[in-house]
Amino acid sequence: MDILKSFAHPEELLALFRFKLGGCDAVIPKYDYGTMSPSMKVCLELLVRTSRSFAAVIQALDEELRGAVCNFYLVLRALDTVEDDMSIPNEVKVPMLKNFHHNLLDPDWKFMDSKDKDAVVLQEFPHISKEFRALPEKYRDVIWDVCAKMGNGMTVFLERKVDTLEEWDEYCHYVAGLVGIGLARLFSASGLEESSLGMDTALANRVGLFLQKTNIIRDYLEDLNDDRIFWPKAVWSKYRPDIGDFAKPEYQQEALACLNELITNALELIPSSLHFMSQLHNQSVFNFVAIPQVMAIATLERCYNNPKVFSGVVKIRKGEAVRMMMGSSSFDKVKAIMKHFVVQIKARIPESDPHSKQTHSLCQKALSLCDTSQQYSTSSIYPPLYVSMGLMLSAIAYNYWSQIGQWYEDLL
Ligand code: D61
Ligand code: MG
């Protein structure tokens, strides 16, 4: 049980405990289920069932944006479910992806033959498309446009694998950069953020790239077992002729060097991530953007030079995740969290690593942008042991009885 691991980290027990007491306004949904339309209820259920890490932050968005972002998520999750479904032959899949956006206008379209874990969004698609058609035009335009571009882009990488770093950026643009671009446009369209945010597509793209690259790096083993490869060949082939070799203990040195090179590449995106967040004014939008970014940097820190990436799943402890989410409520706090993880990475760069200099200078650059007097570190005073014990008992009780415990169960 994850909670027991947090016992070794008293500050996380404190976070779980405060969270239980309702100290986390950022991620507790607040809406009236009673006045909702039946299709909206289905959509909310689909959101909670299919999104491992985004359901809570989407539901916590201001009313004005919540419906549009929820719909944006479900439409793209449905599209991604087609992309990911290995049981659909490419001759069927290519036209499905290319024409997917037209399904938004067809009240009856659904797909009952998917074998994917998220097949339910395709089976229940009429509820999603109904909510889409009920949205204001300014939001529909964005969702429609991104859905068309993403569907087309996904077909590019169905037949061929990601080779160069440019192609890695291109693939990540289709599946996540376009989400960042769409979100920035939705924020601007809502009037909650400035219109200039939605116009800087290169910046919003990189915010999405940071999340997707982190996922791809972390999911090496899971993707390998599913016979999928998203690590760019131009990078891994420098270390081994077969990417599967990284999972063999005798090639651990090569595996770690490759892993660290990809993490170094992802670290280049930190300045853009910070710059994007610095422009946000609305609190709910800020939390929605910052929480995934902070989770990503924590994940990169956990993965850096870590052989476990090649033998199992590298996860952020629940207590750690909750503590970060609660701490992500202002730009200064986010800078403090980022600084904390970048410092950890910097301290762990092996002298022998082929990219140590580059990694070091990117950490340095990130740290210069994270300059803040805010504190985020385990060095803060620990509660006395008996307090920790009490907190642990509360946390265990929390784990059993909490109504909202479910959502963070699957977090990252
Ligand atoms: C702010 C907040 C959230 C952001 C953001 C900025 C910028 C970009 C993104 C979220 C996109 C994040 C992608 C990272 C996670 N990767 C995946 O889920 C992969 O699928 C990518 C294609 C579908 C993307 C759907 C999506 C995801 C998150 C959203 C969103 C839409 C809309 C609004 C808010 C968040 C990955 O999926 C894994 C799986 O199938 O379980 C894959 O197939 O590679
Ligand atoms: Mg996918």
* 184 in Cβ contact with 197 (< 8 Å): yes
- Of 66, 218, 302, 323, which one is the catalytic site residue? 218
Active site residue 228: yes
Active site residue 288: yes
CA 82 to chain centre: 19
Check whether residue 225 and residue 343 sit in a common domain: yes
Predicted local distance difference test score (pLDDT) of residue 11: 72
Check whether residue 53 and residue 195 sit in a common domain: no
Residue 362 lies in a domain: yes
Predicted local distance difference test score (pLDDT) of residue 65: 97
Active site residue 218: yes
H or E element, residue 135? none
Check whether residue 153 and residue 221 sit in a common domain: no
d(CA 20, CA 281) in angstroms, rounded, equals 28
Check whether residue 127 and residue 221 sit in a common domain: no
- Of 171, 174, 210, 304, which one is the catalytic site residue? 171
- The domain of 128 spans 27-158
* 203 in Cβ contact with 272 (< 8 Å): yes
Q: Which of 128, 158, 188 is the last residue of a domain?
A: 158
Query: How confident is the prediction along the chain (412 residues), in pLDDT tens digits per residue?
Result: 566 666 677 677 666 666 555 444 445 455 667 778 899 999 999 999 999 789 999 999 999 999 999 999 999 999 999 999 999 999 999 999 999 999 999 999 999 999 999 999 999 999 999 999 999 999 999 999 999 999 999 999 998 999 999 999 999 999 999 999 999 999 999 999 999 999 999 999 999 999 999 999 999 999 999 999 999 999 999 999 999 999 999 999 999 999 999 999 999 999 999 999 999 999 999 999 999 999 999 999 999 999 999 999 898 988 888 888 888 999 999 999 999 999 999 999 999 999 999 999 999 999 999 998 888 865 445 556 666 666 666 666 655 545 444 444 444 3
Task: Determine if residue 22 is left, alpha or beta; phi over 0 gives left, psi from -120 to 50 gives alpha, anything else beta.
Answer: left
Give the CATH number of the domain where residue 99 resides: 1.10.600.10
Q: From ligand 1's centre to the CA of 198, what distance in Å?
A: 18
DSSP 182: H
Active site residue 171: yes
Predicted local distance difference test score (pLDDT) of residue 203: 98
Residue nearest to atom 34 of ligand 1 (CA): 73
Instruction: Determine the longest span between alpha carbons in the chain, in angstroms.
Output: 63
Q: State how many domains the chain has.
A: 2
Check whether residue 139 and residue 166 sit in a common domain: no
Residue nearest to atom 1 of ligand 1 (CA): 289
Predicted local distance difference test score (pLDDT) of residue 390: 63
DSSP 22: T
DSSP 316: -
DSSP 185-245: HHHHHHTSS-HHHHH-HHHHHHHHHHHHHHHHHHTHHHHHHTT---S-HHHHTTT-SSGGG
Q: Which of 136, 158, 180 is the last residue of a domain?
A: 158
Q: Which of 110, 131, 158 is the last residue of a domain?
A: 158
Check whether residue 255 and residue 268 sit in a common domain: yes
Check whether residue 124 and residue 233 sit in a common domain: no
* 346 in Cβ contact with 316 (< 8 Å): no
Kindly report the pTM of this predicted structure.
Answer: 0.89
Predicted local distance difference test score (pLDDT) of residue 409: 47
Check whether residue 274 and residue 180 sit in a common domain: yes
d(CA 394, CA 373) in angstroms, rounded, equals 32
SS (H, E, C) 74-130: HHHHHHHHHHHCCCCCHHHHHHHHHCHHHHHHCCCCCCCCCCCCCCHHHHCHHHHHH
- Of 54, 72, 220, 288, which one is the catalytic site residue? 288
Residue 47 lies in a domain: yes
Specify the ligand 1 atom closest to the Cα of 69.
Answer: 33
Rounded alpha-carbon distances, angstroms, from residue 349 to 206, 251, 294: 24, 19, 20
401: its two tokens:
């009885």
Q: For residue 211, give the ligand nearest its CA.
A: 1
Specify the ligand 1 atom closest to the Cα of 150.
Answer: 22
Q: For residue 71, give the ligand nearest its CA.
A: 1
Check whether residue 38 and residue 178 sit in a common domain: no
Check whether residue 167 and residue 154 sit in a common domain: no
Predicted local distance difference test score (pLDDT) of residue 118: 97
Check whether residue 101 and residue 194 sit in a common domain: no
* 156 in Cβ contact with 165 (< 8 Å): no
3-state secondary structure (DSSP) of residue 259: helix
Check whether residue 202 and residue 129 sit in a common domain: no
Place of tokens 């229940």: 124
Specify the ligand 1 atom closest to the Cα of 216.
Answer: 44
